[in-house]
Amino acid sequence: KSFQISVPATSANVGPGFDSMGLALKLNLTLQVEESDQWEFMPPSDSDTPYEENFIYKIAKQIAERHHTTLPPCKVTEISGIPLARGLGSSASAILAGIEIANQVCHLNLSDDDKLRYGTEIEGHPDNIAPALFGGLVISTDFGEEIVHMDLPNLELDTVVYIPNIKLKTEASRKVLPEAYPMKTAVKASGVANLVVAALLQGDYTLAGRMMEKDLFHEPYRKELIPNYDTIREEAKRQGAYSTILSGAGPTLISFVPAEQGTTIANALQKILPDYNVKALNMCTEGLQVSY
Ligand code: HSE
């Protein structure tokens, strides 16, 4: 059996939608998978690393075990990837790829809801997993016993991502967050998040952008960890961006910009950010895909 799995990168939070809102981007993890007589991951991350330590392998094995079956060996070749530990959902994409490998080679017949549940359980929050699975902009929340998700209609927006050449682990970026928020802060933070959703649904991107930048859940605490946070925000605004916010837990920043203006704005910002990879990316309406 041989097949290809493709999972998009994602940008979680979308400002104040902390652990709840995320969108898929046209930047994919694509794997070619073939059943083989031994496990092999290409290109090898490091010749000393045994396949048992490969993250995707570990996920696939865990899913097979949950279904009381064994995972037949496969050769997995990465055709395209997502930069790691940059806030672009690389771990969610890898988790879904692992789940899908097990699904295919062990004939598990998993539904989307199963994949969402397993993925969210492994990652701890659904905001990258849901858009990576379904594509588009997805709002989701996890009650433990059920995960509620809703897809928003496609938006007429481009995005620009500013990927620095430093990594930041989500765990480190979550450590700086408060354990609790005063009632007044929580009320305002949730109001701001509600307005982002309402404004996006009405196509009022100016209001949506203003509210995205007013997040009170995480950006005020995380901005200290993010180089050039204010500079990028200000310059992107000058170039016509509606908003510039952290992508997931950072360190990548993402701007929402008028449709068709992504490349122009990315080029302008790349000039002042020589150490960054500044890219215009379209939103991706397709989530996890398998082709044979
Ligand atoms: N919602 C998560 C966070 C996304 O901001 O920590 C990163 O995985």
Q: Give the model confidence (pLDDT) of 61-85 as tens digits.
A: 999 999 999 999 999 999 999 999 9
Among 261, 181, 277, 275, smallest CA distance to 220 is for: 181
Atom of ligand 1 nearest to the CA of 124: 8
User: pLDDT digits over 187-220, tens only?
Assistant: 999 999 999 999 999 999 999 999 999 999 999 9
C-beta of 174 in contact with ligand 1 (< 6 A) = yes
Q: What is the pLDDT of residue 82?
A: 95
**Residue 190 in marked binding region:** no
User: Which residue type sits at 113?
Assistant: D
User: Is residue 116 within 8 Å of 288, Cβ to Cβ?
Assistant: no
Which among 18, 21, 252, 254 is the best mutation to test ligand 1's pocket, defined by most ligand atoms within 8 Å of the CB?
18
Among 147, 79, 86, smallest CA distance to 97 is for: 79
Atom of ligand 1 nearest to the CA of 218: 5
Burial class (CB in 10 A: 0-12, 13-18, 19+), 177: middle
> Is a pLDDT exceeding 90 seen at residue 103?
yes
User: Is residue 252 within 8 Å of 161, Cβ to Cβ?
Assistant: yes
**Residue 89 in marked binding region:** yes
User: pLDDT digits over 27-55, tens only?
Assistant: 999 999 999 999 999 987 766 788 999 99
Q: What is the pLDDT of residue 239?
A: 98
C-beta of 170 in contact with ligand 1 (< 6 A) = yes
User: Is residue 12 within 8 Å of 24, Cβ to Cβ?
Assistant: no
Distance from residue 101's CA to the centre of ligand 1 (Å) = 25
Question: What percent of the chain is helix, strand and coil (3-state, nearest 5)?
Answer: 40, 25, 35
Which among 128, 212, 222 is the best mutation to test ligand 1's pocket, defined by most ligand atoms within 8 Å of the CB?
128
Average pLDDT on 104-108 reads 98
**Residue 47 in marked binding region:** no
Q: What is the pLDDT of residue 49?
A: 80
Average pLDDT on 285-291 reads 98
For residue 193, report the phi and psi dihedrals to the nearest 5 degrees.
-65, -40
**Residue 253 in marked binding region:** no
User: Which residue type sits at 284?
Assistant: C
Distance from residue 251's CA to the centre of ligand 1 (Å) = 11
User: pLDDT digits over 125-177, tens only?
Assistant: 999 999 999 999 999 999 998 999 999 998 999 999 999 999 999 999 999 99
* Strand boundaries in 13-134, DSSP class E: 21-35, 40-42, 74-80
Q: What is the pLDDT of residue 45?
A: 72
Q: What is the pLDDT of residue 50?
A: 87
Atom of ligand 1 nearest to the CA of 18: 1
Residues with Cβ < 8 Å from 193, sequence gap 6 or more?
A: 15, 16, 17, 18, 20, 21, 211, 215, 217
Which among 11, 13, 123, 226 is the best mutation to test ligand 1's pocket, defined by most ligand atoms within 8 Å of the CB?
13
- As a whole number, the mean pLDDT across the chain is 96
pLDDT band with cut points at 50, 70 and 90 for residue 237? very high
Beta bridge partners of 149: 140
- Atom 3 (ligand 1): residue with closest C-alpha? 249
> Is a pLDDT exceeding 90 seen at residue 278?
yes
Instruction: Give dist(CA 236, CA 215) in Å, integer.
Output: 18
Percentage of residues of the chain with pLDDT beyond 90: 96
Terminal alpha carbon distance of the chain: 9
Q: What is the pLDDT of residue 166?
A: 93
C-beta of 273 in contact with ligand 1 (< 6 A) = no
Instruction: Give dist(CA 273, CA 252) in Å, integer.
Output: 13
DSSP structural state of residue 223? G
Instruction: Give dist(CA 270, CA 98) in Å, integer.
Output: 34
Instruction: Give dist(CA 132, CA 111) in Å, integer.
Output: 15
Average pLDDT on 249-256 reads 97
Which residue in the block uniquely carries the two structure tokens 């080029």? 267
User: Which residue type sits at 132?
Assistant: A
Beta strand 74-80 with 40-42 is parallel
Atom of ligand 1 nearest to the CA of 89: 8
Structure tokens at 108: 């598990």
Distance from residue 249's CA to the centre of ligand 1 (Å) = 5
C-beta of 237 in contact with ligand 1 (< 6 A) = no
